[in-house]
Chain A
Amino acid sequence: MVDTPAPIERPPLRDLILRKGKRTIVGADPQGLIRGFFAANSSVTIIVLALIMIFLLKEGAGFLGTYKHELEIYRRAGLEFCDIVDRPLSEQQELSSKLRRAVTTSVDPIIQGVRARRDAAFLLKREVEEQTKLAREPLAAALEKEPAPAATELDPLRQQVAAATQQAAAKMNVPDVFTADEAKRLRDEFAKLTPEVSDLPPMLMELSAAFTVKDKEAKQKFGPLVDASDELEEAPEELRGVLDELKEEVLATKEAATTHFTLEEGRQKLLKAASKAKDPQEKEDLIKEADASKTDEPNYEESIKPVLERREELIGKVVAYAAAADAAAVNLPKEGGTAEATQLLTEVRAALPLHAKALRDGVESLRTWKQDKPVSIFTVIGAFFFGTSWLTNSSWQDFFGFVPLLVGSVVIALIAIVIATPLSVAAAIYTNQFASDREKEIIKPVIEFIQAIPSVVLGFIGISLVGDLIKEISEVPWLGWLPGFPIQERLNMFNAGCLLALMAVPTMFSLAEDALNNVPQAYIDASDALGATKLQTVFRVIVPAGLSGIAAAILLGLGRVIGETMVVLLVAGNRIAIPDFSGGPGVIFQPAHTLTGIIAQELGEVSRGSAHWQALFMVGIVLFVISLAVNGCARAVVRRFELPKA
């Protein structure tokens, strides 16, 4: 409304007067020195940060080139060609194993009884043999001797065995799948066990026969299911046959290429050394050595020829297999012997046509595939940033797609933040607004103490305690409706998220508490004077006013969680695959690997400068960028909603 008068400029004369007679130290004025000291300190931090960035970039920058080169070989040698079929075909194994499970669960209820009897009897026999081992061993050893020892020598041993066996058979704990009569017969027969007779006792033979009969009967009952399972199992055999031969062929080319480039690299080093060498003799030796390791790059066009010659054959097999898969879907019985089997059958029936389609779709790619199509840098960038598989030390081909790691990191971080936010914010509100001084004295140090727990110890707790706890809880029958229950893996994203939440709570709590503390007293006065109750003041004035600080606390917690390594490495389960989100929220109980975990786990084992090494640095760069972004966001939030100073 009213302009405040502009500040009057200080007369320069005054400055001159003030500056007069100032002391100097070695020609510099002390104020300047002190300033310089502090400036130097802060610039050291900035320089170090810059150096870290330069180092990361330098190591990571080579990655795109190296990976491009690898992908070029992958294409030119023809591995890519085989993968067109191999990738979709790999699904067949999973489908097949599902069908096998369907067969087993269907047949099981029928044969369970006889199988239990047979297995129990065999187990008893083994127990008797174990218990009488001490007596049996000398006899067995004696019997093996050449020439055979005299009967007088053997007889005492035989008696020992008989006595021990009789005793063991009498003590045998026969389970109640056998009637009393049967139990007696088992005891009698087992009492006669001796290493001299290798035939099974008659009772065992009978039990085995009974099982075989029942098994056959059951398989007959589910005949169509068993047939379908067998058919799907065998369907891709011919296709696999051709594919495996082709794969062998292209792999040989790739290996030749790899060898060539490795040698070539060494050769270049030698030549470089030679050009620097001063002694002519040494120079000559080096050049000679370099020449000796000279190899030619394999001729890709030549070596791919036999593969491409069989292109049509391969396509034929693919089409035949796809047709078989389609037929299998049609012939698959609707119902299995159990609900589980029926469920599996439904899944397989739905998946088979898609599987067949994926293969058929590949046919076109097989036809148009060319080995000399150049690999563009965008393909390489895409293969890293959008690649869905991170596959290393593979005998076939390494892939560095970081999506699975990113997804793992992000999901775990989100779980952690979702758990930690209510805990820490509620604790901060309570401590700041409601707690008595005594309570504050307890709560604050305790929460801050969590920070002092080494993360490796937390990881230990996650493995030994939290994992078991979650698993046990997930097996409680009346909790079965929860998504993902009962869980398969003790080490999973949820487990890691819980522990990371614990690690994030102290940071988030302290920052949120500071934010609430910074809410000016004047707001509280105003609210009180308007007759608001304590609760109203807290939730209508203090929390909204501190919200930006609380949001920043959450973001900084997120930064902390994304960068955490040890806990996720130990607890997240380290499965490098994009979790299966199709099951809904239950996905959080699946294992995963993370950006931080992969670096910690693999960096020590890879050779310096390799594509793998550089890929890990790229992951590091991405991690660095994410952390910067999160911190930047936190700062932006605070600046955007900054409160006037009280």
Chain B
Amino acid sequence: MPTDSNPAQPSIVEVKDMDFAYGSKTALHGINLEVERKRVTALIGPSGCGKSTLLRCINRMNDRVTGARIAKGEVRVKGKNIHDADVDLTQLRKQVGMVFQKSNPFPKTIYENVAYGLRVHGEKDGEVIHEAVERALTQAALWDELKDRLQAHALGLSGGQQQRLCIARAIATQPDVLLMDEPCSALDPIATLKIEELIHQLARDYTVIIVTHNMQQAVRVSDYTAFLHLGKLIEFGETERMFDRPKEKLTESYLRGTFS
């Protein structure tokens, strides 16, 4: 499989020769993927090809699904196999945050939503929490909009604001990696644009892995793109290069939209 990641930069997430199965059904076959630090990596591919599954392997969100397991290979975050016995799931999720397709703020105040991650990780100091909330909201480009109504109910925000609030919530604990599963699919174009801008800025501090169905979005936001098909990683490389000169026939036909 052709890849062109930069070997000089150490990868923060490494998927090595991984097979993943839901019970007897193998959803991912022999995935090899190295995600570069502080870059945006997009996962694209037709529906059902395993993008979400792959994304969820990285923070072990699949653990809950009965029968779901890594059948072969391993996933490493910051060099550490995340399935090692001494890995603490809480710590892993502190390092790897996640934003979902449909915005899902808690039915609490804006402030409490952002503070939630800190609170569950045992932070008691109000000062520290307050700083973290302000920083997260600022990074999520929400601070100016919301600073006067932090105690308002989160469910009163617009869809786009809610999704950015979820991003703020995910980055409040300062993870290394931020996973996003089609974060804009439920938003209108203008809200989508805002989020895309946000992703650009987030890439300064975080490593972002984003699943998207929108080719333009992949081009706009990502540095690297991985194309999956039927549970296999077909091609992985710099976005610009891949969209200009895909190496694989399959990639080309998918990008052209002449895919059957």
The CA of A532 and the CA of B61, in the complex, are separated in Å by 12
Known contacts A1-B161, A523-B104; A530 and B170 CB within 8 A of each other: yes
B23 sits at the interface (CB 8 A)? no
The CA of A529 and the CA of B59, in the complex, are separated in Å by 8
CB-CB contacts below 8 Å: A153-176 with B: none
Q: Which of B64, B119, B160 contacts A2 (CB 8 A)?
A: B160
Q: Which of B89, B104, B191 contacts A522 (CB 8 A)?
A: B104
7 example contacts (A-B, Cβ-Cβ < 8 A) are as follows A1-B158, A2-B188, A526-B105, A530-B93, A531-B90, A532-B90, A536-B120
Number of B interface residues in the complex (CB < 8 A): 35
The CA of A530 and the CA of B108, in the complex, are separated in Å by 16
Which residues does chain B contribute within 8 Å of A540, judged by CB atoms?
116, 119-120
B24 sits at the interface (CB 8 A)? no
Q: Are the CB atoms of B166 and A644 closer together than 8 Å? A: no
Which residues does chain B contribute within 8 Å of A1, judged by CB atoms?
158-161, 190-191
Tell me the nearest residue of chain B to A644, going by C-beta: B155
Q: Are the CB atoms of B61 and A522 closer together than 8 Å? A: no
A527 sits at the interface (CB 8 A)? yes
Chain A interface size band reads 20 to 34
Q: Are the CB atoms of B93 and A525 closer together than 8 Å? A: no
A435 sits at the interface (CB 8 A)? no
B107 sits at the interface (CB 8 A)? yes
A4 sits at the interface (CB 8 A)? yes
Chain A proximity mask over B118-136: 1 for CB below 8 Å, otherwise 0: 0111000000000000000
Known contacts A4-B188, A644-B155; A531 and B117 CB within 8 A of each other: yes
A143 sits at the interface (CB 8 A)? no
Which residues does chain B contribute within 8 Å of A526, judged by CB atoms?
100, 104-106, 166, 169
Q: Are the CB atoms of A530 and B188 closer together than 8 Å? A: no
B97 sits at the interface (CB 8 A)? yes
Known contacts A531-B91, A532-B120; A525 and B158 CB within 8 A of each other: no
The CA of A528 and the CA of B100, in the complex, are separated in Å by 12
Q: Are the CB atoms of A529 and B61 closer together than 8 Å? A: yes
Which residues does chain B contribute within 8 Å of A532, judged by CB atoms?
90, 116, 120
Which residues does chain A contribute within 8 Å of B155, judged by CB atoms?
644
Query: Assuming A531-B91, A540-B116, what are 8 further A-B pairs, CB within 8 angstroms?
Result: A1-B161, A525-B104, A526-B169, A528-B93, A530-B117, A531-B121, A533-B90, A544-B108
The CA of A643 and the CA of B106, in the complex, are separated in Å by 10
Q: Which of A2, A525, A533, A643 contacts B100 (CB 8 A)?
A: A525
The CA of A530 and the CA of B179, in the complex, are separated in Å by 12
Q: Are the CB atoms of A523 and B106 closer together than 8 Å? A: yes
Which residues does chain B contribute within 8 Å of A522, judged by CB atoms?
100, 102, 104
The CA of A531 and the CA of B117, in the complex, are separated in Å by 7
A88 sits at the interface (CB 8 A)? no
Which residues does chain B contribute within 8 Å of A529, judged by CB atoms?
59, 61, 93, 97-98, 100, 170
B39 sits at the interface (CB 8 A)? no
CB-CB contacts below 8 Å: B157-197 with A: 158-161, 166, 169-170, 173, 188, 190-191
B94 sits at the interface (CB 8 A)? yes
B residues neighboring A (CB under 8 Å): 59, 61, 64, 89-94, 97-98, 100, 102, 104-108, 116-117, 119-121, 155, 158-161, 166, 169-170, 173, 188, 190-191
Q: Are the CB atoms of A530 and B191 closer together than 8 Å? A: no
Which residues does chain A contribute within 8 Å of B191, judged by CB atoms?
1-2
* Centre residue among B93, B102, B106, B158 by max chain A CB count within 10 A: B106
Which residues does chain A contribute within 8 Å of B121, judged by CB atoms?
531
A541 sits at the interface (CB 8 A)? yes
A387 sits at the interface (CB 8 A)? no
Which residues does chain A contribute within 8 Å of B64, judged by CB atoms?
528
Which residues does chain A contribute within 8 Å of B160, judged by CB atoms?
1-2
State how many angstroms separate the Cβ of B206 from the closest Cβ of chain A.
15
Which residues does chain B contribute within 8 Å of A527, judged by CB atoms?
106, 116, 120
Tell me the nearest residue of chain A to B145, going by C-beta: A1
A545 sits at the interface (CB 8 A)? yes
The CA of A544 and the CA of B191, in the complex, are separated in Å by 30
The CA of A574 and the CA of B121, in the complex, are separated in Å by 56
State how many angstroms separate the Cβ of A392 from the closest Cβ of chain B.
52
Q: Are the CB atoms of B188 and A533 closer together than 8 Å? A: no
A353 sits at the interface (CB 8 A)? no
Known contacts A1-B161, A522-B104, A526-B166; A533 and B97 CB within 8 A of each other: no
Known contacts A530-B93, A530-B170; A520 and B120 CB within 8 A of each other: no
The CA of A536 and the CA of B121, in the complex, are separated in Å by 10
* Centre residue among B90, B94, B104, B190 by max chain A CB count within 10 A: B104
State how many angstroms separate the Cβ of B175 from the closest Cβ of chain A.
9
Which residues does chain A contribute within 8 Å of B170, judged by CB atoms?
529-530
Q: Are the CB atoms of B120 and A530 closer together than 8 Å? A: yes
* Centre residue among A528, A531, A533 by max chain B CB count within 10 A: A531
Which residues does chain A contribute within 8 Å of B98, judged by CB atoms?
529
Tell me the nearest residue of chain B to A546, going by C-beta: B107
State how many angstroms separate the Cβ of B253 from the closest Cβ of chain A.
34
* Centre residue among A4, A528, A541 by max chain B CB count within 10 A: A528
The CA of A527 and the CA of B159, in the complex, are separated in Å by 19
The CA of A496 and the CA of B98, in the complex, are separated in Å by 52
CB-CB contacts below 8 Å: A487-526 with B: 520, 522-523, 525-526
Tell me the nearest residue of chain B to A537, going by C-beta: B120
Which residues does chain B contribute within 8 Å of A545, judged by CB atoms?
106-107
The CA of A525 and the CA of B97, in the complex, are separated in Å by 12
The CA of A2 and the CA of B106, in the complex, are separated in Å by 22
Known contacts A523-B106, A526-B106, A544-B108; A531 and B93 CB within 8 A of each other: yes
CB-CB contacts below 8 Å: A541-558 with B: 541, 544-545
Tell me the nearest residue of chain B to A5, going by C-beta: B188
* Pairs of residues from A and B, 8 with the lowest C-beta to C-beta distance, nearest first: A531-B93, A522-B104, A529-B98, A532-B120, A531-B90, A530-B117, A1-B158, A526-B104
The CA of A459 and the CA of B70, in the complex, are separated in Å by 59
The CA of A532 and the CA of B108, in the complex, are separated in Å by 16
* Centre residue among B100, B116, B170 by max chain A CB count within 10 A: B116
State how many angstroms separate the Cβ of B101 from the closest Cβ of chain A.
9
Which residues does chain A contribute within 8 Å of B100, judged by CB atoms?
522, 525-526, 529
State how many angstroms separate the Cβ of B177 from the closest Cβ of chain A.
12
The CA of A525 and the CA of B158, in the complex, are separated in Å by 21
Which residues does chain A contribute within 8 Å of B104, judged by CB atoms?
520, 522-523, 525-526
Which residues does chain A contribute within 8 Å of B166, judged by CB atoms?
526
Q: Which of B120, B159, B188 contacts A531 (CB 8 A)?
A: B120
Q: Are the CB atoms of A533 and B108 closer together than 8 Å? A: no
Which residues does chain A contribute within 8 Å of B61, judged by CB atoms?
525, 528-529
The CA of A536 and the CA of B90, in the complex, are separated in Å by 11
Which residues does chain B contribute within 8 Å of A2, judged by CB atoms?
158, 160, 188, 190-191
The CA of A101 and the CA of B161, in the complex, are separated in Å by 77
Tell me the nearest residue of chain A to B159, going by C-beta: A1
The CA of A390 and the CA of B173, in the complex, are separated in Å by 66
State how many angstroms separate the Cβ of A433 from the closest Cβ of chain B.
13
Which residues does chain A contribute within 8 Å of B89, judged by CB atoms?
531
Which residues does chain B contribute within 8 Å of A531, judged by CB atoms?
89-94, 117, 120-121, 173
The CA of A173 and the CA of B120, in the complex, are separated in Å by 77
State how many angstroms separate the Cβ of A552 from the closest Cβ of chain B.
16
State how many angstroms separate the Cβ of B108 from the closest Cβ of chain A.
7
Tell me the nearest residue of chain A to B157, going by C-beta: A1
The CA of A525 and the CA of B103, in the complex, are separated in Å by 11
Known contacts A2-B160, A528-B64; A643 and B107 CB within 8 A of each other: yes
Which residues does chain B contribute within 8 Å of A643, judged by CB atoms?
107
The CA of A643 and the CA of B166, in the complex, are separated in Å by 17
Which residues does chain B contribute within 8 Å of A525, judged by CB atoms?
61, 100, 104
State how many angstroms separate the Cβ of A639 from the closest Cβ of chain B.
15
State how many angstroms separate the Cβ of A221 from the closest Cβ of chain B.
70
The CA of A1 and the CA of B116, in the complex, are separated in Å by 25
The CA of A520 and the CA of B105, in the complex, are separated in Å by 11
Which residues does chain A contribute within 8 Å of B107, judged by CB atoms?
523, 544-545, 643
State how many angstroms separate the Cβ of A522 from the closest Cβ of chain B.
4
